[in-house]
Chain A
Amino acid sequence: MIRILRQIFRTGIVTELTPRSDDPKITIGEIKLEDSVKKRFQRSLTVREVDAGSCNGCELEIHAINNPVYNCEQFGIHFTASPRFADVLLVTGPVTANMEIALRRTYDAVPSPKLVIAVGDCGCNGGIFGQSYASLGGIDKVIPVDIYIPGCPPTPTDILNGFYKIFL
């Protein structure tokens, strides 16, 4: 026990303030975020992550926003196990044909008002996998998307800046 405490004290607080930027790469979809929705979600967001066919690169970076350095909980962003508790769906990957139904059902399980954030180049437009018999392309081919965060994969800072689109 004493070693654990010593390690904790030696480490100290490593959380950094993520630079806020109005990154032009990160865009808002056709459906404009309603102010009332924004207001309702302010400073407290429950997020359900869905991998609809990514290569796992984006998942690593989503894990990273949870690490002590980015510590997304400081902004009230926390991840939930159930879509029923979620305000936001964070979706990655080109939607594969085999995941289409599961993604739709997860979306339907999220109570309104809800937001969808597409993460990564694949989530935004299908990326390198494009459209084929197995890959349907971007997330918006299946469910409406509110915020697009491109990148392969986007850095944790990019992802947090995407969330700021809701807070700003």
Chain B
Amino acid sequence: MKILEEALIAAFEAEAIPHEKAAQSTFTVPVGRFAEAAKVLKDAYALLCAEWASDETVFGSGFGIYACYHWGGEYLIVKAELPNDNPTFPTLTKHFVPAYRFERQIHSLMGVIPVGHPDDRPWIKFEDWPSDTFPLRKSFNASTPLMRTDGQYQWLKAEGEGVYEIPVGPVHAGIIEPGHFRFQAVGETIINLEERLGYVHKGIEKRFEAMTWESGVKLAARVSGDTTVAHATAYSMALESMTRTEVPARAQWLRALFLERERIANHLGDIGAICNDAAFAFMLYQCSRLKETIVRTNYKLFGHRFLMDRVVPGGVAADIDSSAKKEILSELNIIEEDFEHLVTIYEESSSLEDRVRNTGILTSELARELCTVGIVARASGLNVDCRIHTPYPPYDSLQIEPPVLTAGDVHARVWVRVSEIRESVRLIRRILRGIPQGGIVTDCRVPLPEATGFAAVEGWRGEIIYWLQSGHSGDVINRCMVRDPSALNWLALEQAIKGNIVPDFPLCNKSFNQSYSGHDL
């Protein structure tokens, strides 16, 4: 069923032109009707996954602006073509809230203007960058350092009796990535939170354009260090989709094995850290001990503690034999037993329950409005999971039961993680039983010129999207769009924290645990 595609064609008829070279259904619509397409798709119940721009001057045209929508098992990309001399397009923020940040970022980094956008402050780009710096444009020379200019970020202001502000960051108290948060509070209650991110903007999307298709996967693996397998897999799958490479079945199963191991390790770390923020250090030490067991086994069997660079285009770079299987199974038994003890303790600790229940609630309506993904969405009653709705092998042959809770509080987000650890343990056992024989890597061909590739992979935080575009010759990466789940979920944190007390922010933030690096790129 292609509900979104049908809805778009019904509304646009001949004005929606399908793309032939695209790996994912893509339609070009007239610029003037770009926002109308969003409305049509919203009415068909779509969620906005991402919005981005591409500099297509090398193809002899101007800029391309893309919006990717998703519902059920369907992804649909809508494109509008902008002329070089008038790079403007109608904003989508009226229809989709997440477009708010995507478009600020497009404006800041590509210099393409969303007309009618409610906020013209730059995003990612700091006020001390020269205003005509648009790094994602082809004409920009990325290798030279930036000049600094003067400028001041304009914060949203809240005024009134008893209202005060708490600025936090970018250097936080813990061992954590940098970002700035500004709370407006009355008494202990937070009435507004404004995030300002972009501190770890390393220019990754521009950097991709200087890489080869093969070496690009190394960069993708370092978009967010804790999600290295999922990002490398998504990049590889996007590249394979545009070159029509057939990945050996064994490699696909091994990728799933790595993904699930990454999921368990990170969820364990998170559960420990959330409990620690509620002053329950016992859980932190126990969980980090279990996490250490997993990463050590990774190191012993696959040569890297986080499995970096073990997924490559065309397959994987590490295999398992029967003794490795045995080792993983016996490790799982130990972890499972210990973990269940810990879950019982978590459930029975009333002091902990007092902190995690009804804290930082993200309602189901908001979760949908903000198009959240991954654990955050699933804790707020939104059933989204690429492994189930757009399954790629081997997930299409594995039965997965995703946990969906509706409370949307810190506890629900912990509990989604608990259920996912159990599910991943079951999946790994199933993978080890069913893994087919054969090769683990095949040659990945070079894509055709002006082709595009697309992939959506369920990382441990949620859905990761890669969109690749080759240049005027197939060897060149013209654009690599990376959409980490945090790009959407950061907005949800701002909403979930309202009405909570300031001391609950760390707890709430930890339960979201969004990536700064993956967001800022």
B260 to chain A, nearest CB (A): 18
Assess whether B222 is in contact with A96, with CB atoms less than 8 Å apart.
Answer: no
Q: Quick check: is A36 within 8 A (CB to CB) of the other chain?
A: no
Among residues 58 to 90 in chain A, which have CB atoms less than 8 Å away from a CB atom of chain B?
A: 58-64, 66-69, 79, 81-83
Query: In the complex where A51-B178, A53-B202, A102-B199 touch, is A132 in contact with B288 (Cβ < 8 A)?
Result: no
Chain A binder among B6-14, B92-100, B166-174, B232-240: B166-174
- Complex Cα gap A72–B342 (Å): 24
Q: Which residue of B lies closest to A106 (CB)?
A: B171
The reply to whether B344 and A3 contact each other, CB–CB distance below 8 Å, is yes
Contacts of B178 in A (CB 8 A): 50-53, 99, 102
Contact residues on A (Cβ < 8 Å of other chain), bracket: 35 or more
Chain B, 216-233, contact with A by CB distance < 8 Å: what is the 0/1 string? 001100111110100000
Q: Which residue of B lies closest to A70 (CB)?
A: B292
Is A155 close to B, CB under 8 A? yes
A6-14, A17-25, A27-35, A37-45: which one contacts chain B? A6-14
Q: Is the CB of A56 within 8 A of B342?
A: no
**In the assembly, what is the distance between CA of A19 and CA of B170, in Å?**
35
- Given that A57-B222, A133-B133, A133-B145 are known contacts, is A68 also in contact with B171, CB under 8 Å in the complex? no
Q: Interface code B323-362, partner A: CB below 8 Å = 1, 0 otherwise?
A: 0000000000000000001101100100000000000000
B305 and A155 within 8 A (CB): yes
Q: What CA separation (Å) do A53 and B228 show in the bound complex?
A: 16
Residue B478 lies at the interface, judged by CB distance under 8 Å to chain A: no
Residue of B nearest to A51 (CB): B177
Residues of A within 8 A of B133 (CB): 133
Looking at A11, A83, A97, A134, the one whose CB has the most chain B CB atoms below 10 A away is: A134
Assess whether B515 is interfacial by the CB under 8 Å rule: yes
Give the distance to chain A from B131, nearest Cβ to Cβ, in Å: 14
In the complex, whether A128 has a CB less than 8 A from a CB of chain B is yes
Shortest distance from the beta carbon of A51 to any chain B beta carbon, whole Å = 5
- Does B285 have its Cβ within 8 Å of any Cβ on chain A? yes
Given contacts A53-B202, A63-B175, contact A133 B135 (CB under 8 A): yes
Interface centre among B129, B306, B517 (most CB of A within 10 A): B517
Contacts of A134 in B (CB 8 A): 135, 146, 201-203, 206
**Which partner residue on chain A sits nearest B285 by CB separation?**
A68
- Please classify the interface of chain B as helix (H, G, I), strand (E, B), loop, or mixed, using the class held by over half of its residues: loop
B344 nearest in chain A by CB position: A3
Contact A60 B288 (CB under 8 A): no
Contact of B175 among A11, A49, A99 (CB under 8 A): A49
A131 to B206, CA, bound (A): 12
Residues of A within 8 A of B206 (CB): 132-134
What 1/0 flags go to B138-178 for Cβ under 8 Å of A?
00101111100000000000000000000000110111111
B3 at interface, CB cutoff 8 A:
no
Q: A8-B282, A132-B142, A134-B202 are in contact. Are A56 and B517 (CB under 8 A)?
A: yes
- B418 lies within 8 A of chain A by Cβ: no
Asked if A152 is at the interface of the complex by the 8 Å CB criterion, the answer is: yes
Q: Are B170 and A99 in contact (CB under 8 A)?
A: yes
Residue of A nearest to B345 (CB): A3
Chain A residues with CB below 8 A from B170, complex form: 99, 102
List, in ascending order, chain A residues with CB within 8 A of B224's CB: 55-56
Closest chain B residue, CB of each to CB of A49: B175
Q: How many inter-chain residue pairs (CB < 8 Å) link A and B?
A: 154
Shortest beta-carbon distance from A121 to chain B in Å: 10
| Min CB gap A155→B, angstroms | 6
User: Are B225's CB and A4's CB within 8 A?
Assistant: no
- Interface: A98 (CB within 8 A): yes
Flag if B126 contacts A98 (CB, 8 Å): yes
B25 within 8 A of A: no
Total chain B interface residues with beta-carbon distance under 8 A:
56
Bound complex: CA A161 to CA B269 (Å): 24
CB distance from B225 to the nearest CB of A (A): 3
- Point out the residues of chain A lying under 8 angstroms from B292, CB to CB: 64, 67, 69
Whose C-beta in chain A lies nearest to the C-beta of B141? A133
Whose C-beta in chain A lies nearest to the C-beta of B170?
A102
Query: B201's contact among A55, A60, A81, A96, by CB below 8 Å, is which?
Result: A96
Instruction: Count chain A CB atoms within 10 A of each CB in B222, B223, B292, B348 and give the residue with the most.
Output: B222
Of the candidates B143, B219, B515, the one whose C-beta lies within 8 Å of that of A56 is B515
Q: Kindly report which residue of chain B lies nearest to residue A127, judged by CB atoms.
A: B222
Is the pair A98, B201 in contact by a Cβ cutoff of 8 Å? Answer: yes
A53 to B202, CA, bound (A): 7
Q: Are B289 and A132 in contact (CB under 8 A)?
A: no
C-beta contact mask, A137-150 vs B, less than 8 Å → 1, else 0?
00000000000000
Chain A CB within 10 A, most for which of B143, B177, B295: B177
- List residues of chain B with CB within 8 A of the CB of A132: 142-143, 202-203, 206-207
Tell me if B44 counts as interface (CB < 8 A to partner A): no
Q: How far is the CA of A36 from the CA of B315 in the complex (A)?
A: 54
Cα separation A152 to B228 with both chains bound (whole Å): 12
* CA distance in complex: A89, B291 (Å): 26
**B288 to A64, Cβ gap below 8 A?**
yes
Q: Which listed residue, A11, A50, A98, touches B171 by the CB 8 Å rule? A: A50
State in angstroms the CA–CA spacing of A127 and B218 once bound together: 11
Contact B175–A62 (Cβ < 8 Å): yes
> Is the Cβ of A131 less than 8 Å from the Cβ of B143?
yes
Given A96-B200, A96-B201, A133-B206, answer yes or no on A56-B177 (Cβ-Cβ < 8 Å): yes
A135 within 8 A of B: yes
Is A125 among interface residues, defined by CB-CB distance under 8 A? no
B512 at the interface (CB under 8 A from A): no
Q: Give bound CA distance, A63 to B176, whole Å.
A: 9
Known: A62-B175, A67-B288, A133-B135. A128 touches B219 (CB 8 A): yes
> Can you give 28 A-B contacts (C-beta < 8 A)?
A4-B282, A4-B345, A49-B175, A50-B171, A50-B178, A51-B178, A52-B178, A54-B517, A56-B516, A56-B517, A57-B226, A57-B306, A59-B225, A60-B225, A60-B226, A60-B306, A67-B291, A68-B289, A69-B289, A69-B292, A83-B171, A97-B145, A97-B146, A98-B200, A106-B171, A133-B142, A133-B144, A152-B222
Top-8 shortest CB links A-B: A57-B225, A134-B203, A81-B173, A67-B288, A55-B225, A56-B225, A49-B175, A55-B222
Known A56-B177, A130-B207; further 11 A-B contacts with Cβ < 8 A: A3-B345, A7-B282, A64-B292, A68-B289, A69-B289, A79-B175, A99-B178, A127-B222, A128-B222, A129-B202, A131-B145
